[in-house]
């Protein structure tokens, strides 16, 4: 990163960037391990985090995520997923939340607590509205992380360091410039360029979410 410019990384190595539609079409048309892996890699993270924040143990969160993804995949392949009835994220939330409720019911019947010691999950499962809000946050965070991973491979490492210093480490532009030994204007340009690219990628993913199927 020289002067006030923000340069793109040049080279053939770039992470795969598949739209939601591409991933779902692959899942429907190519029912193999590779299609399932791409599907699970894209959508597993927000489900696992949502389950953990709802009080499930790590193991139970992984189980619920696996079951929720498998249930959605089956419904999608059978043509039961209707995007007119809701976004993909809403479908996954409904399936995951129902799986969590089922875990709670099973545990109550067995009179056994399967969460980590000290958890109040079984007594304080969030209501529908609170759960939906928590899910939305996890979904958005997962999208941001996917976009950040892509941007890291598109721009120079120095650009990302300037961006992260200001946005993730709460440095002022002046502090970031001093720490990195670059002009303040370069820091501003880096922040602007990375945020702009993240917004563009987010819009792409969100559009695919609402039009997938």
pLDDT at 122: 42
pLDDT at 103: 79
What is the C-alpha separation between 187 and 96, in angstroms, rounded? 41
pLDDT at 187: 97
User: Which residue is associated with the tokens 């598109």?
Assistant: 154
What confidence tier does 210 reach under pLDDT thresholds 50, 70, 90? Answer: low
pTM score: 0.73
Q: Which of residues 1 and 200 earns the better pLDDT score?
A: 200
pLDDT tens digits, residue range 50-109? 999 888 889 989 999 999 999 988 888 888 877 666 688 888 999 999 988 887 777 666
């Amino acid at each position: 990163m020289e002067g006030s410019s923000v340069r793109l990384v040049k080279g053939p190595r770039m992470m795969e960037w598949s739209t939601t539609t591409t991933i779902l079409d692959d899942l429907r048309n190519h029912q193999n391990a590779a299609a399932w892996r791409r599907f699970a890699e894209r959508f597993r993270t927000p489900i696992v985090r949502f389950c953990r924040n709802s009080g499930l143990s790590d193991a139970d969160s992984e189980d619920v995520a696996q079951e929720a993804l498998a249930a959605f995949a089956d419904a999608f392949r059978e043509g039961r997923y209707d995007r007119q009835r809701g976004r993909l994220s809403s479908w996954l939330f409904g399936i995951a939340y129902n799986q969590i409720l089922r875990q709670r019911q099973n545990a109550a019947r067995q009179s056994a607590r399967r969460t980590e010691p000290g958890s109040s999950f079984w007594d304080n499962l969030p209501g529908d509205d609170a759960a939906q809000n928590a899910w939305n946050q996890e979904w958005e965070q997962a999208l941001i992380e996917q976009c950040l991973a892509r941007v890291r491979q598109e721009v120079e490492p120095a650009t990302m360091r300037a961006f992260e210093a200001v946005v993730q480490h709460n440095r002022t532009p002046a502090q970031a410039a001093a720490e990195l030994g670059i002009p303040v204007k370069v820091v501003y340009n880096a922040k602007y360029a990375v945020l702009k690219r993240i917004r563009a990628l987010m819009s792409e993913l969100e559009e695919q979410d609402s039009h997938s199927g």
